[in-house]
Amino acid sequence: MSRSSSVSTVPAFSSISGRTVPPFVPLPLVPPPAYSQTTVPHDDPPFTPNGTRIYTHHATGSDPALSGQMQSGSNPRNSAAYEPTDAAEISRRISQISDTGGFGVTGLKNFGNTCFMNSVIQCLVGTKPLTRYFMRGEWRSHLIQDTKKQSSSMVTEFAHVVERMWRGQFSFISPAEFRSAVARCSEQFNGNDQQDAHEFASFVLDSLHECLNHVHPRPLPERELTLDEELQFEQLPDAQQSRVKWDAYTRRNKSIVSSIFQGQIQSRLTCMACQHTSTTYHMFTELSVPIPDTSSADSANGPALHSEPQPIDIYQCLDAYSESEILDGDNKWMCPVCQTKRTATKRLMIARLPLVLIVHLKRFSTVGHFREKLETNVQIPTMSMCLQKYVTFGAGEQSTLYNLYAVANHFGSMSSGHYTASVSDGLNGQWNHFDDTRTSVIHESQVTTPAAYLLFFVRTQRGIE
């Protein structure tokens, strides 16, 4: 069904399949060998993103909170030069945390298997609007005290981690209190097992959103549409549909997380018999995209038993995410117009683009009783990734171009792996690699490898594309 942005109103009444429907009114309200992080001593030289060890940039000063647990010493790096001494100096450093750059490169202590946590923290702290929000102390006035779930203590400890990392006094710090606060909030992350960085990032952002939500107390959720209201809703242009649903969402949700990370997905079912559509919208914080199977055959008689995946680009992953899916057989859709189950198509599109887009590459898959990891090299542009093809009509009024600024990497296999992070300092175009306590400068060509797992993009501004 074609929807034009020029349609701003709907008829007073519409006739749909013989039904007289009243007008719709919005309701109110190349990686290193696999190894276990627990078997790698902290004084081993770190891995570069390309999988080779480097022997420079060892930490020379540690946070006193480590209490001598790190062998690298306890002397801060030029503390007199880095420690803020007055309000004017603190304000100056906050002003440096702009959307294009910042201050301080700080590693994080690994508690055995917490590299997944460290990589996510580095990417989030590299998100300048989020860092500026915490450094200015704005979070204090928004924090909802939650003594039952203790999520508020996790937010407080996250703020402390941000402040200590951006203070620039130490080459690495210990996020021990933040880790403890996370463990009190989530049974999944209460232990010493390696965890999934994507799941951890989702948990942290969800917790920050819930605790820093400006809308408190929340109004009750809106009731579901009646059939007549749903039929009328389908007559609205995409842009108006999206706006109605986003307004309904933001009446109950408004936080620093929603303003930076949250976007909107359109899911549309289309009956292949009568072409009737049913459209729903939901919020997303990260976009999980599949990696198409590109294993090549190196035998004229058929696929090889151990074929190597061919490199692909990020657009092939986005194509696979947004391509139409046929619902047939047991998955046929009950069409409300035909009043029977019909073969239908389903397609996902982006209806509202976030300021920061997190793309999760689905590298882990289940084959029978086993979990496998895809080592496919996904080629990712660091500048001007264009999403115009994947947004609904009217959603492209803002810029659809994104620049990469952070990557969480996973090296190794499901049972034996390690996470690192690469984060850009937009001020001078420098990329820094974080391997727990160790930091190093890397070239832009080293940023995207077959280990890339979570991708952090920031939307460019219209007029400077």
Using CA of residue 180, residue 78, residue 167, residue 199, what is the dihedral sign? negative
Give me the phi and psi of 8, to 5 degrees please.
-110, -15
Cβ within 8 Å of residue 250, ≥6 positions away? 258
Select which of 57, 209, 360, 418 is catalytic: 418
Q: Which residues of 110-145 are buried (b: 16+ CB within 10 A; e: fewer)?
A: bbebbbbbbbbbbbbbbbbbbbbbbbeeebeebbee
Tell me the C-alpha distance between 249 and 246, whole Å.
5
Catalytic residue, from 57, 115, 276, 410: name it: 115
> What gap in Å lies between CA 242 and CA 415, rounded to an integer?
42
- Identify the helix (H) or strand (E) that includes residue 344: strand 344-352
Q: What are phi and psi of 450, to 5 degrees?
A: -60, -10
Running DSSP on this structure, what letter comes out for residue 26? P
Host H or E run for residue 364: strand 364-367
| Distance of alpha carbon 150 from alpha carbon 182, whole angstroms | 9
Active site residue 115: yes
At residue 159's C-alpha, the angle toward residues 194 and 67, to 5°, is 65
Closest to 166 measured CA to CA, from 190, 132, 140, 193: 132
Work out whether the CA dihedral 393, 395, 401, 403 comes out positive or negative: negative
Whether cis (ω within 30° of 0) applies to the bond prior to 217 is yes
- Positions marked catalytic: 115, 418
